[in-house]
Structure 1
């Protein structure tokens, strides 16, 4: 936390000391690290298939819409969690540039354009999970399969839920 606060206080000074391209280089570096992490997480996701018969049996006991919401929300959240802290670092730097008074408008435009490359976390995924039946969430919490990135569509296909 101290590191983030120090960077926050020093970032405008670093931009001025290093020149106008420093912010762009920093954004590009952070996005590159995020992209590398995202590729690694997606590789984990694609190499995992089934959570096992026990978990599939639990999923089959619930309404198709609830199963769909659980799998899509949980897979999105697990992918986001897998990309931490890289996505946080990239988001922080982009946000710092956008809020800085010490960078040019061209640099701010560059940062704004790069902002769209970041995987946007939606609180809607958490809301979907919180609105699911509590007994469903309690049962599925026992299966740590859903804590790591997984392909929700493959599981939905295996369950025959469309």
Structure 2
């Protein structure tokens, strides 16, 4: 989800900035574009937090190795996404509010297209898919969270996966 947003946000903003026109389109366009930009900044901020954190203690890595690699992969990817969403929540909330306001307003043209596109990108099926996968994990895997608070803040899921997988190689 966050990777798709990082790639799509600049394209969406650049492609639509030249097309704002009509009666209330410039104001609506500016309003939604600013919220998208703020959310993009939040995504980057939270990714920097994740990248700056060291790996969890070796004891946590060892606990993760006790589970199937598929379950651990799903856990790390989905949990990373969920805590990033919490980190981004103020800006995400503002974006959701802006989408709701503009959907309820009489807007057309480019702002309406932007609202539809960003809504699908940020709140679409892929977002629910990640949450659903996390909720469907075995309870024993979900209990990893109760063993450490490491997974309560943004973290680098790929680095942890690499540490687990590299240790399993002969």
**For residue 149 of structure 1, what is the aligned residue in structure 2?**
154
Matches within 5 A, 1:106-145: 106-115=110-119, 118=122, 122-145=127-150
> How many Å apart are 1:47 and its aligned residue?
0.8
Matches within 5 A, 1:91-106: 91-100=96-105, 102-106=106-110
Q: Deviations over 1:86-114 (max 9, x none)?
A: 112113212432343x2233431233344
Matches within 5 A, 1:3-22: 19-22=24-27
> How many Å apart are 1:48 and its aligned residue?
1.5
1:55–1:93: structure 2 CA closer, same or farther, 3 Å change rule?
same
Q: Which has the higher helix share?
A: 2
**Candidates 53, 73, 80, aligned match of 1:75:** 80
Q: Report which stretch shifted further, 26-35 or 89-98.
A: 89-98
1:157–1:78: structure 2 CA closer, same or farther, 3 Å change rule?
same
1:124–1:107: structure 2 CA closer, same or farther, 3 Å change rule?
closer
**For residue 56 of structure 1, what is the aligned residue in structure 2?**
61
CA RMSD of aligned residues (A): 2.5
1:45 matched to 2:57:
no
Q: Report which stretch shifted further, 104-113 or 32-41.
A: 104-113
Q: Report which stretch shifted further, 114-123 or 139-148.
A: 114-123
Tell me the matched-pair count.
Answer: 144
1:78–1:107: structure 2 CA closer, same or farther, 3 Å change rule?
same
Larger radius of gyration, structure 1 or 2? 1
